[in-house]
Structure 1
């Protein structure tokens, strides 16, 4: 089991230099410059994705939307998506499978939203602690429940992304290790299952990046 989890070990180094965390930026190093300067098909696809996400975030932000305010969430979505996908390639460190990475994305945003909300809209933040229609004798209990649910938000964001990235990678690693100990006739079946699992992980990479960003947008819209 110790060897199984070494694929998530950030302490692996080459010549005493830890290069694992460079995977967070490796895609930007290998993308040719012409993609950014000439409207290629790949760039047009990225622009279409960004425009679709921009419209989604604009709808969710409602009254707090200002020109350019969706850019931070689009950048966050792209950053998480790239890191999720890069982790599917062999010998590339999956940065988003670590709590130190996911929590460093979720916690600063949550703190920023709450500091801004309590400073600018204190009354509005107090109203959020008591859902509309709550009976008087349950108000104190609901304040406690809402406060706890608010405090665990960055943790749930971080753990959800980390757990989904780890789970799929562990299944792929387990199946790949089985190829060494099974009869030859079983290897094509296991390879097919691994291919299907890799396809599922590609979808999970997109979904988890989208879920993380959508929830961050919803949390931001509650402070206004």
Structure 2
């Protein structure tokens, strides 16, 4: 029974004191047998086409100085977030990406690894990012402070962006769904139509947000080279 509006995001389903809702993060593994046990199908061809396009785009963003195979990190990040976002739209599947526990666990280690590599291997290059080209000397201390703060809050903004977008759409659908029993019968069809439109919108948001997180992570990585 839902006690408040945010109960749909509560990972409280337990069996033998195990939080089973978090198992939804590995539901994407159910799609892997397509690649290993079945002959090539439309799903596999489309996914391979999408991965090749992402590989080319990430490779261009990382630049020629990037390590070989580094694009697969961001392709895996995109795939993981995409599956969790998209499967969370289905009923009775817990949306794990709506929690900062998961999103910060993804973005914070990535950001820390980029920062450690950049400051250890390319210190002079990292210092140059703190002062944009053409900045007047009197504004340099303020620009260093602003750039440092914006750099520090990057993992938080990435995590909050993903979490807020997942929560907002699900809450709107829950609010409209709870008002259904109070509506006259003639308005039920309008409500169902609006819910279908929201479901399509949430599917688009699930894809866009996973793409945005992967692209921003790639851009942050390219700054350290």
Both structures adopt the same fold (TM-score exceeding 0.5): yes
Residue in structure 2 matched with residue 79 of structure 1 by the alignment: 80
**Per-residue deviation at 1:15?**
4.8
Report runs of 4+ in structure 1 exceeding 2 Å deviation. 14-17, 31-38, 63-67
Q: Please provide the CA RMSD for this pair.
A: 1.4
Instruction: Judge conservation of contact 1:87–1:94 (CA < 8 Å) in 2.
Output: yes
Deviation string for 1:38-57 (max 9, x for gaps)? 32221111100100111110
Residue in structure 2 matched with residue 33 of structure 1 by the alignment: 33
Give the distance between the partners of 1:156 and 1:181, measured in 2 at CA: 38
Give the distance between the partners of 1:39 and 1:203, measured in 2 at CA: 26
Residue in structure 2 matched with residue 46 of structure 1 by the alignment: 47
Residue in structure 1 matched with residue 69 of structure 2 by the alignment: 68
Instruction: Judge conservation of contact 1:23–1:93 (CA < 8 Å) in 2.
Output: yes
In the TM superposition, what are the counterparts of 1:1-224 in structure 2 within 5 Å? 2-29=3-30, 31=31, 33-37=33-37, 38-224=39-225
Change over 3 Å in CA distance of 1:34–1:204 after alignment to 2:
closer
Give the distance between the partners of 1:64 and 1:109, measured in 2 at CA: 19
SS, match of residue 91 in structure 1 = coil
Deviation string for 1:102-156 (max 9, x for gaps)? 0010000000000000000111111110000000111111000000000000000
Instruction: Judge conservation of contact 2:34–2:44 (CA < 8 Å) in 1.
Output: no
Give the distance between the partners of 1:34 and 1:172, measured in 2 at CA: 32
Give the distance between the partners of 1:77 and 1:161, measured in 2 at CA: 12
Give the distance between the partners of 1:97 and 1:104, measured in 2 at CA: 13
The unaligned stretches of length 5 or more in structure 1 are none
Instruction: Judge conservation of contact 1:179–1:190 (CA < 8 Å) in 2.
Output: yes
SS, match of residue 90 in structure 1 = coil
Instruction: Judge conservation of contact 1:35–1:42 (CA < 8 Å) in 2.
Output: no
TM-score w.r.t. the length of structure 1 is 0.96
Give the distance between the partners of 2:82 and 2:65, measured in 1 at CA: 25
Instruction: Judge conservation of contact 2:28–2:80 (CA < 8 Å) in 1.
Output: no
Q: Which moved more, 1:177-186 or 1:33-42?
A: 33-42
TM-score w.r.t. the length of structure 2 is 0.95
